Amino acid sequence: MQPTTDFDPGKLAKSLLRRSRQGALATLMTGSGDPYCSLVNLASHPDGSPILLISRLAIHTRNILADGRVSLMLDERAPGDPLEGARIMLSGRAEQAAADELELLRRRYLAAHPTAEDFVSFTDFSFFRIRPSGTHLVAGFGRIVDLEPQRFLTDLVGAEDLLEAEAGAVEHMNADHRDTMQLYARQLFGADEADWRCTGCDPEGVDMQSGQTVLRLAFPERVTSGTELRKMLVKLAGEARAKAK
């Protein structure tokens, strides 16, 4: 089916990847190859690919270590009929985190799931990252699209300065600019007042979270450095204040 003219499948798929905190993970049972599905918590890498923190005691982890092919279903959790909401079925390979990316994955996962701090250091738990090979988006009648990774992942080429500055920017926003986060949420999204905090930044936007509710503040243009990020956040704060008047 072809999407309608006002439908941007890549943008919707990106948003679901960034906003999802749980998903249904399908793995292949060792030995038989039978499908096995489980519920997992997840966070997102700066490029949007899913991050998992899973235990070797779990069946899905043992399955992944034997065969990394997985599928992950994410949905909008919209009220009413769940089949009316958008959802993606992402396919790819789950790979255990390399030593040079552990710090990044740990930081972004714990930003999304602070209570995981209680067991993240347990020896049976490890970080995995799903490397997508494609996704199947279902967003209603006439809105069913297969997407290649370049359509729903964020290009990080040239954004090294931003990635290096991200941890400090997130800490600064949460320590000194919680009022600005409230402003973004209320005026740009119409969200209720809550304890909104920043969980991550990337070239295309900022993720904000209160409890398990996540808002994706998309940038009108790409940013690739800490300086550009600050300017963009100031600009968006100005737009939010203008709406508040």
Average pLDDT over residues 161-179: 96
| pLDDT (tens digit per residue) in 58-112 | 999 999 999 999 999 999 876 777 777 899 999 999 999 999 999 999 999 999 9
Whole-number pLDDT of residue 101: 96
Distance CA 24, CA 29 (A): 15
Whole-number pLDDT of residue 180: 95
Distance CA 59, CA 34 (A): 12
Q: What is the DSSP string of 114-154?
A: GGGGGTTT-TTEEEEEEEEEEEEEE-STT-EEEE-HHHHSP
* Residues 232 and 205: beta-carbon distance below 8 Å: no
Lowest mean pLDDT among 47-51, 134-138, 171-175, 191-195: 191-195
Q: Is 190 left (phi over 0), alpha (psi -120 to 50) or beta?
A: left
* Residues 166 and 178: beta-carbon distance below 8 Å: no
Domains present along the chain, CATH in parentheses? 9-152 (2.30.110.10), 160-244 (3.20.180.10)
pLDDT-based confidence at 1, cuts 50/70/90? very low
pTM here is 0.93
Distance CA 197, CA 185 (A): 10
Of residues 134, 166, 136, 170, the one with CA closest to residue 153: 134
Judged against a pLDDT cut of 90, whether residue 232 lies above it is answered with yes
Judged against a pLDDT cut of 60, whether residue 3 lies above it is answered with no
Rg (C-alpha) for the chain, rounded Å, is: 18
The neighbour count for residue 103, using CB atoms within 10 Å, is 11
Average pLDDT over residues 180-201: 95
Residue 143's Cα: distance from chain center in Å? 22
Q: Which DSSP category does 187 fall into? A: I
| pLDDT (tens digit per residue) in 117-160 | 999 999 999 999 999 999 999 998 788 999 999 999 999 999 99
- The set of residues, in sequence order, having a beta carbon less than 8 Å from that of 244 and lying 6+ positions away, is 183, 186, 187
| pLDDT (tens digit per residue) in 13-47 | 999 999 999 999 999 999 999 999 999 999 999 99
Average pLDDT over residues 218-239: 96
3 or 224, which is more confident: 224
